[in-house]
Amino acid sequence: MLKKNSNVTRRAFLRGTAAFAAAPYIVPASVFGRDGKVPPSERIILGGIGIGNRGSHDLRWMLPEADVQFVAACDPNKSRRERVKKIVDTHYGNTDFKLYANTPEFLAERTDIDAVLSTTGDRWHALASIMAMRSGKDVYSEKPSCMTIAEGQAVVETAKRYRRIYQTGTQRLSEGNFIFCNEMLRLGRLGKVHTARAHIAPWDAAEMKHDWLPAQPLPPKSEMDWDAWLGPCPWRPYNVAYTQGRWRGYYDFHTSCIGEWGAHTFAQCQVGIGAGDSAAVEYKYVNNESGDGMITRFANGINMTLERGNKWWRGSCGVRYEGDEGWVAAADGYSEPDVSSPSMLADFRKIVYDYMARTQRPTSHVRNFLDCVKSRRQTVANPVVMHRSMTTVHAANICMWLKRDLKYDPVKEEFINDNEANRFRSRAMRQPWII
């Protein structure tokens, strides 16, 4: 029924209706899911926060997935968000992709978005994930996914309270070589396992810098919202090098050489040794700049040693498990794992396939996340796995900073009889960027 004050006359309305009825009504086959297309009801509407270099890599994993529609992204850096738009518009062959500069406004306005790809710098990972989950969105977050133990706790609590699906970007948990290593341990093929070895990054140090880069003229807010870029971190003067990745190595922004690769390898090892829902209970200080050689012990008696070099593997993000009946190791670039006996590889493919059947997880980290968005099952790198492995990262850092051995209670989530260490479990967050 037309309103009395409408500018459309009854005669014009009827003319338009007749013309519409006479025209052929063509619906694209994709609407119904024909021609191999996924119908709209089955698509995951995806948005992005802080899609930089690593984020562009993740985005290229997600865009080819037939049930994903990437629609919008938010970034305080204009040049970066426009670069993302070019990638997405080229992929879809249109200009529909929308850009935002303000994260809270983006999350509040885009109620159509089901899930968010968050690939900011370390300082923003936990906060962006929490904000997105509170707005009803599932989250795929790059690693290291929290700056402190308290932030990790908050991610776990938020995912549980809002019933959100969450995956941290420790993608090696979904790769065949690393799956095989973990399964060999789980199946008892190594005998009684006594040692795990976890690769840490061969650059920077555990003791990070507490100064900052010299101030440069602040660009217009429309080009770079510096306040939003800093987010929860202390205010620091603008320097363009920060926005190009030189925030690494600074206490305000980073989780050190231990967190850089330990975010991957600690998660791999802890899942492998059955401690994915816990953290190391003892940390032995080593007198060097990186933590290389530090021994962390878990409640099940297994030691995990931090390793900076390539003595135990070839390539980056290596892990190795040693038992009284053999050992296995893997790192990036392997065609198959290293093993103590060639016979261990005889059923390599079967072990990986059996894992996929048992867990209903693919050997694609992104696909695991998307499948769980639909099924509401837990991801392989769920909030608990992220938080507990990052707790070990943070505790190892704190051990290096205080230059003494530490003991940690994973149940109470606190250091034992050490108030100074416990103060490092959280950091002050700058208003209004708080959890």
pLDDT at 332: 98
Q: Look at residue 29 and tell me whether its pLDDT is greater than 70.
A: no
DSSP string for 396-432: HHHHHHHTS-EEEETTTTEETT-HHHHHTT-----TT
> pTM for the full model?
0.91
Per-residue confidence band for 395, with pLDDT thresholds at 50, 70 and 90: very high
pLDDT in tens, 163-215: 999 999 999 999 999 999 999 999 999 999 999 999 999 999 999 999 999 99
pLDDT at 52: 84
Per-residue confidence band for 53, with pLDDT thresholds at 50, 70 and 90: confident
Portion of the chain with pLDDT greater than 70, in percent: 92
pLDDT at 39: 84
Q: Which two tokens stand for residue 171?
A: 């993608």
DSSP β-ladder status, 166-168 and 319-323: unpaired
Q: Look at residue 6 and tell me whether its pLDDT is greater than 60.
A: no
Task: Please name the fold of domain 172-207+254-363+383-423.
Answer: Dihydrodipicolinate Reductase; domain 2 (3.30.360)
Q: Which two tokens stand for residue 344?
A: 């261990």
* Average pLDDT along the chain: 92
Distance CA 291, CA 306 (A): 7
The CATH architecture assigned to 36-171 reads: 3-Layer(aba) Sandwich (3.40)
Angle, helix 122-134 to helix 149-162, in steps of 10 degrees: 20
C-alpha closest to that of 103 among 63, 168, 59, 47: 47
Per-residue confidence band for 35, with pLDDT thresholds at 50, 70 and 90: low
pLDDT at 54: 85
Q: Look at residue 4 and tell me whether its pLDDT is greater than 50.
A: no
pLDDT in tens, 219-244: 999 999 999 999 999 999 999 999 99
Q: Look at residue 80 and tell me whether its pLDDT is greater than 60.
A: yes
194 close to 302: Cβ distance less than 8 angstroms: yes
**CATH 3.30.360.10 segments of the chain:** 172-207+254-363+383-423
What's the whole-number mean pLDDT along residues 120-142?
A: 97
Q: Look at residue 401 and tell me whether its pLDDT is greater than 80.
A: yes
129 close to 120: Cβ distance less than 8 angstroms: no
Q: Which two tokens stand for residue 2?
A: 């037309």
Q: Look at residue 24 and tell me whether its pLDDT is greater than 60.
A: no
**CATH 3.40.50.720 segments of the chain:** 36-171
Portion of the chain with pLDDT greater than 90, in percent: 89
